[in-house]
Structure 1
Amino acid sequence: MKNKSIVIYLLATLFLLGCNKAPVSFEMTVDSVNELKGLVLKGVALSGTVAVGCIAEGTPFVIYRNDKKVLEQTARILSVSKDGHNKPPNGEALKKEFVTLYVPDVEVQKIVAGDVIKSSVVSCRKTSLAKFK
């Protein structure tokens, strides 16, 4: 009887932990990492295609490698393109768009292609969000 109680307790705990995970509002796999050594921009530029949701300028995000947190940052969008054409800057990148994010003061070795960027914060305008509902 004691073992049965332990198993029920463990299953209930695992269920509750799964329910506490924030839904992902943005996800992107890093395709390329480029070092920036300019006078103004120093750090890295991360590029990839938005797989889930959208991200807006100033949105907090986390970079993961093998489901382990590598780095927390705030979105700084350098460029956005769709179907190979640059979009006028509006401070957002939507699903299926190719985006380059700027991460200041980070060494290029810290982030690698294949890392995954996620955010649970919904930060895009309602008009943008309506595009992928």
Structure 2
Amino acid sequence: MPKSMKDFVADAKGRVTTVSPGAALSASKDSGDLILDVREAEELQNDGRIEGAVHIPRGLLEANADPETGKGNDQLLKHREADSKVHVLCASGARATLAADCLDQMGYNTTVIEGGLAKWKKEDLPVQS
């Protein structure tokens, strides 16, 4: 039976951990953890962005996370085996869950920011327009 995106997300949720938006923001400021935004560029323009977050669209993540591609994102790569976490964010959490699951398999220590940008805004955390 073919799988849907919902099936893939449900499966990945069993392997990833989550963090509240406020805890992710604190960890980025206090511990140097990385906030990784996997939304599309148009979403950043329309909905705002988180200051200091690294933006890599979900479709380009693996190439940017793998040092062997020659296309790795330096800010992301330095967190690969460091004693820090990568907190992944999307609009609501589905793409972030898939991204975090993939990054975990690539050697990163990740969490998913619960509720994505929607919950980030609901908690009245800073967003740049």
Which range, TM-score by smaller chain?
A: under 0.3
TM-score, normalised via structure 1 length: 0.22
TM-score, normalised via structure 2 length: 0.23
Q: Which has the larger radius of gyration?
A: 1
Which structure features the higher share of strand residues?
1
